[in-house]
Amino acid sequence: MPVIRITTKFMQARTISSVRGKRGEDVLDRLRSMAIFYEFKPGERLNEAELADALGVSRTPVREALMALAHEGFLEASSRGYVRRRLDVKEMKDLYELRLAIEKECCRYAAQRATDEQIVELGQYLAHSRSVAPSTSVTELVELDEGFHDRLAKMTGNAELEKMLVLISRRIRFMRWISMDNAVRESTQDQHSALLNALQERDAEKMQALMTAHISLRQDQIVEAVTRGLAKIYL
């Protein structure tokens, strides 16, 4: 099953990144951010020695981080190391379909298992998210959006679902970043409010229907987002 494979890859990546302790985590976090936002161009070959020099570290934590990022799906092995995976319409469609499957399960379990305190806290989080200024950076807006979904996942009490959602969120973060504007943000906040209301009612079916409408993207929307993303990367 795909879900099982992703969980395994995530655990492999965590194992690799923990070998060198905090320095290894810092290097992994920096290189992951560079990969997420395509500071490495699609298809670009990554030079281990140059990255180590740029980060001021030895080649060992860089090598381990690149292995982890390959397991997480950002890089792919080549004959001489790793290259950044290309921004691909089919891959993005697959990731959004998988995200929807995971988040619908999160809705089901959250409706059953969330504590009253967690639901109140989610309402407070949403109120804070709504209050941020329109001039807030896109990166922060995407983080706020992810934070809402992370909290829903935490309510499931299922650590593996949480981990899987973290991994998928990283893989699609660039798409969210490209697509985020004030109109999208307002619509997203309204949809989050509806999800919160359904959660307060403990209505799992309603939550799943709302989540489907919230996440599902048409093929043409994905094509447009990828096209905009490529323009952003190269311009």
Structure confidence at residue 2 (pLDDT): 39
Taking the C-alpha atoms of residue 37 and residue 211, their distance in angstroms, rounded to an integer, is 26
Neighbour count for residue 19 (Cβ, 10 Å): 12
Q: What's this model's pTM, rounded to 2 decimal places?
A: 0.85
Summarised one tens digit per residue, pLDDT across range 10-65 is 444 444 444 457 788 999 999 999 999 999 999 999 999 999 999 999 999 999 99
Which helix H or strand E contains 161, and what residues bound it?
helix 159-179
Summarised one tens digit per residue, pLDDT across range 98-138 is 999 999 999 999 999 999 999 999 999 999 999 998 888 99
Q: Which of 217, 196, 182, 228 is nearest to 100 (CA)?
A: 217
- Would the CA dihedral through 164, 167, 168, 173 be positive or negative? positive
With 60 as the cut, is the pLDDT of residue 3 above it?
A: no
Average pLDDT over the chain reads 90
Conformational region of residue 46, where left means phi above 0, alpha means psi within -120 to 50, and beta covers everything else: beta
Confidence tier at 6 by pLDDT (50, 70, 90): very low
For the chain, domains (ranges, CATH) are: 2-84 (1.10.10.10), 89-234 (1.20.120.530)
